[in-house]
Structure 1
Amino acid sequence: MSEPFYITTAISYPNGRPHIGHAYESIATDVMARFQRARGRDVRMITGTDEHGLKMVQTARAAGRETLDFATEMADHFKAMAAKLNISYDKFVRTSEPSHHKASQALWNAMKANGDLYLDRYEGWYSVRDEAFYDESELTDGEGGVRLSPQGTPVEWTAEETWFFALSKYQDKLLALYESNPDFIRPESRRNEVLRFVEGGLKDLSVSRTSFDWGVQVPDSDGHVMYVWVDALTAYLSGIGYPDTDGDFAKYWPANIHMIGKDIVRFHTVYWPAFLMSANLPLPSQIFGHGFLLNRGEKMSKSLGNVVDPMDLADQFGVDQMRYYLLREVSFGQDGTYSPEAIVRTANADLANSFGNLAQRSLSMIFKNLDGTLSNDYEVHADDEALLADIFTMAREQLPTAFDELAFSVGIEDWIRSVFASNQYVDTQAPWGLRKTDHERMRAVLMTLFKAVRALAIAIRPVVPASADKLLDQMGIDADARDYAALADDQWFDKLIASGCKIGQPVPIFPRLDLPEGAEGVGQT
């Protein structure tokens, strides 16, 4: 029985269409999910939309829409993005769904039964845009005397009757958690930020609202709806069947990784584990707060006109090219920058000129010079063994080790080095010359290249799944023989020959990209 692996994106707030940051997080989470599936794990990947809160009400009202209708339209945009980017999620959770309301109320009742919820009056600073409370000490002065949160968003003074969660009770428990499990919060910079915040002291948290009714109703408390972050986080439970603690919940919880942006680390690493402790539920293994994507080094904003629609990028440059660029060029966990020119440059250098060219000329030579016939009747030379040993070390050890640590760019760098080594092997062996001087040696070189291309395609498949599958289709590799276990099968080549596989005229997998006219202005205003 395969080992379960549960991974989630953040549950996106859909007060607008998805942007490149949503795409980046979804792609990284998808790559990790595909990587774990390729290793034989029983993977469950959850994504979705966090549809409650005052900000959604205000945005819908400004658009002259009913809140649920507006939320449905926005959720559909997020689903369309996931489909476009080939995101292999297992469930899309909408927090407006009745099943999610049921789960949120069950979590609330569990926290209340533990004595951690009480009714009182709240007065303090609140950011509608962040859906977050801030202490006076965290605020700064903006223009016109407007008070600003640490995120630079305006805050307003709020006073209302509210339910409180006894967060202060969990300060020492949280600090003990961080100490006993240093990898609970990653990367290290995020962990240090959270440690400083919690060590500074925790105050009880207001967890209900009476000023609007768009949200999950608080059980047995008329007029109160849950604070949006209580029910948003519960999506990680409702997505696997909670409050039913059998079935999928028993199989997949606790989550292995919550993949989130660095701006919502506090909610996931302070509030979320405290809620779970209160409800006597196991804690997730890791919260990873990735960095932001910057457009040509600048933070995106509508006023600058540089907010990029990921659907446009995918249409212009290709889905797999976009996926590859974002994980190759951005050190995961840190902020990264991108531009149309950089995507074109990287996709052409690595995918078209290096790997795509390697695959195309290797398969073309087998088709033209060997009538597409594969053979294991050849003498293996030391150079052949050295190349394949290098590639198998990368595919079986180096790349998996890096991906396990979410060091995607490191693993891809290991992969591209093996691609370069394979191209160097082609240039050194010069099979086009061997065709006239040593036909048997040519066959050995081409069979070595066939094996190399297959291993390289399987290794990078989590990153560029559609392109890798298109290539493996041309090579006659069965759909169920494309995981990492297949790399350990020493009999695969003999089986493929025995099946009568013949290589046809190959079709290029990665065409060279040109920078579209006006690409510098890709975006929406």
Structure 2
Amino acid sequence: RKNEVISFVKSGLKDLSISRKSFSWGIKVPNNSQHVIYVWLDALTNYISALNFPNKSDKMFKTFWPASLHLIGKDILRFHAVYWPAFLLAAKIPLPEKVYGHGWILDGDEKMSKSKGNILDPIEIINQYGLDPLRYYLIKEVSFGNDGNISQSRLEDCINSDLANNFGNLCQRVTAFAIKNCDGKIPNKIKFNEEDLKLLDKFKMNINLIRDKIDNQDINFYIDFVVNMLFETNKYFNDQEPWNKKDNTLRLNTIIYTTLEIVRKVSYMLYPIIPQSSINALKIFSIKEKEIEFSSIEIHNFLKGGDKIDKIDILFKKIEKKND
């Protein structure tokens, strides 16, 4: 898309009329009622008029402009990456720092559209499966920036495998086990060994890389990291067999603490993607939404020993597929 914009500019720029008289709808040009303002001039100015421009001293404008990122559909790239910067430069207004064109959601090889009647109705999907699962599925399934195919069947698979089995099940089983074996409290006496630290350190060692990937819109790396950590943590909990460590309280406590810490870290990381479900998971620790701080995922002993562990409801209901 960068090459597309550069190629357009290199081919030679021509004057652009900012009014039209081939139709009547639109904002009329002052002193000329036959012309209306070209929609790709007046629509683009909404980005700054919504921030109370032309009052450049307004708090909204000072806080949010220039935009750190303009996220747009790839089919309106020229208007945002050529015309809009030209308008801003002419008006001596700072440019957005980055323009990123995302792809389309496809049905087979075709773009979804109402006219073709090939859309998956998002309201119907939300009513049936919930908003968070749809958000998660779209972010995981579609390579960000590219076109992506989606289907109801793959959505159901994603909910069952990633959300119900991998995340939800981990939260439920470690919480139930901790309540039963640690008097319903975060373990006090713990001692991390090499296997515990190998898992916990992955958050600390990768936090700067994760930030860099997000700053470059590599959301797929972010979600893959979370999914892999959930998979490894489920395996860790199974392999460590805390149910066979009841004669070794220190080891039992450490396994539980390590797993609970990763539940907290992952819930923090999933908060921008599935906010309500993450908040529900954090009720285990009585952590409120305003207390979520991304940088704390690199802390190994954030949870305080002796704090109460709360039982939570099932986060994601497993979907019984018709062909199962």
TM-score, normalisation: structure 2: 0.92
Give the Å deviation of 1:371. 2.1
* CA distance in structure 1 between the partners assigned to 2:79 and 2:20 by the alignment: 18
1:281 paired with 2:87, answer no
Q: Out of 105, 111, 117, which is 1:293 matched to?
A: 105
**Structure 1 residues not aligned, in runs of 5+:** 1-189, 518-525
Match of 1:244 in 2: 55
1:364 paired with 2:176, answer yes
* CA distance in structure 1 between the partners assigned to 2:74 and 2:153 by the alignment: 26
Q: Residue type of the partner of 1:411?
A: Y
* CA distance in structure 2 between the partners assigned to 1:515 and 1:276 by the alignment: 52
* CA distance in structure 2 between the partners assigned to 1:221 and 1:304 by the alignment: 39
Give the Å deviation of 1:375. 2.5
Match of 1:96 in 2: none
Query: Residue deviations 1:463-492, cap 9 Å, x none?
Result: 111100110022222333212133356773
- Asked if the contact 1:392/1:455 (under 8 Å) is kept, the reply is no
Query: Residue deviations 1:266-290, cap 9 Å, x none?
Result: 1111111111111111111111111
Change (3 A) 1:245 1:516: farther
Q: Residue type of the partner of 1:433?
A: N
Q: Out of 318, 333, 341, which is 2:153 matched to?
A: 341
Give the secondary-structure state (helix, strand or coil) at the position aligned to 1:283: coil
Match of 1:397 in 2: 208
Change (3 A) 1:488 1:423: closer
1:449 paired with 2:259, answer yes
Structure with more of its chain in strand, by fraction: 1
Q: Out of 487, 501, 510, which is 2:307 matched to?
A: 501
Q: Residue type of the partner of 2:262?
A: A
* CA distance in structure 2 between the partners assigned to 1:357 and 1:299 by the alignment: 36
| Correspondence list, 1:401-412, <5 A | 401-412=212-223
Give the Å deviation of 1:251. 2.9
Match of 1:272 in 2: 84
* CA distance in structure 1 between the partners assigned to 2:180 and 2:138 by the alignment: 36
Query: Residue deviations 1:111-136, cap 9 Å, x none?
Result: xxxxxxxxxxxxxxxxxxxxxxxxxx
Give the Å deviation of 1:361. 0.7
Change (3 A) 1:491 1:358: closer
Give the Å deviation of 1:516. 7.1
- Asked if the contact 2:200/2:300 (under 8 Å) is kept, the reply is no
| Correspondence list, 1:36-115, <5 A | none
Give the secondary-structure state (helix, strand or coil) at the position aligned to 1:474: helix
Match of 1:185 in 2: none
Match of 1:144 in 2: none
Q: Residue type of the partner of 1:503?
A: I
1:440 paired with 2:246, answer no
* CA distance in structure 2 between the partners assigned to 1:403 and 1:381 by the alignment: 31
Give the Å deviation of 1:510. 1.9
Q: Residue type of the partner of 2:79?
A: F
Q: Residue type of the partner of 1:382?
A: E
* CA distance in structure 1 between the partners assigned to 2:115 and 2:289 by the alignment: 47
Task: Decide which moves more: 286-295 or 305-314.
Answer: 305-314
Change (3 A) 1:486 1:296: same
Q: Residue type of the partner of 1:385?
A: L
Query: Residue deviations 1:133-156, cap 9 Å, x none?
Result: xxxxxxxxxxxxxxxxxxxxxxxx
1:196 paired with 2:7, answer yes
Give the secondary-structure state (helix, strand or coil) at the position aligned to 1:250: helix
Give the secondary-structure state (helix, strand or coil) at the position aligned to 1:268: helix
**Structure 2 residues not aligned, in runs of 5+:** none
Change (3 A) 1:257 1:385: same
Q: Residue type of the partner of 1:344?
A: E
1:462 paired with 2:272, answer yes
Give the Å deviation of 1:350. 1.2
- Asked if the contact 1:332/1:407 (under 8 Å) is kept, the reply is yes
- Asked if the contact 2:280/2:312 (under 8 Å) is kept, the reply is no
**Percent same amino acid among aligned pairs?**
39
- Asked if the contact 1:254/1:284 (under 8 Å) is kept, the reply is yes
- Asked if the contact 2:21/2:34 (under 8 Å) is kept, the reply is yes
Q: Out of 485, 507, 510, which is 2:316 matched to?
A: 510
Match of 1:60 in 2: none
* CA distance in structure 2 between the partners assigned to 1:474 and 1:297 by the alignment: 44
| Correspondence list, 1:17-32, <5 A | none
* CA distance in structure 1 between the partners assigned to 2:179 and 2:108 by the alignment: 43
Give the Å deviation of 1:428. 1.0
- Asked if the contact 1:293/1:299 (under 8 Å) is kept, the reply is yes
Give the Å deviation of 1:330. 1.2
- Asked if the contact 1:340/1:515 (under 8 Å) is kept, the reply is no
**How many residues get paired?**
322
Match of 1:380 in 2: 192
Change (3 A) 1:514 1:406: farther
- Asked if the contact 1:391/1:456 (under 8 Å) is kept, the reply is no
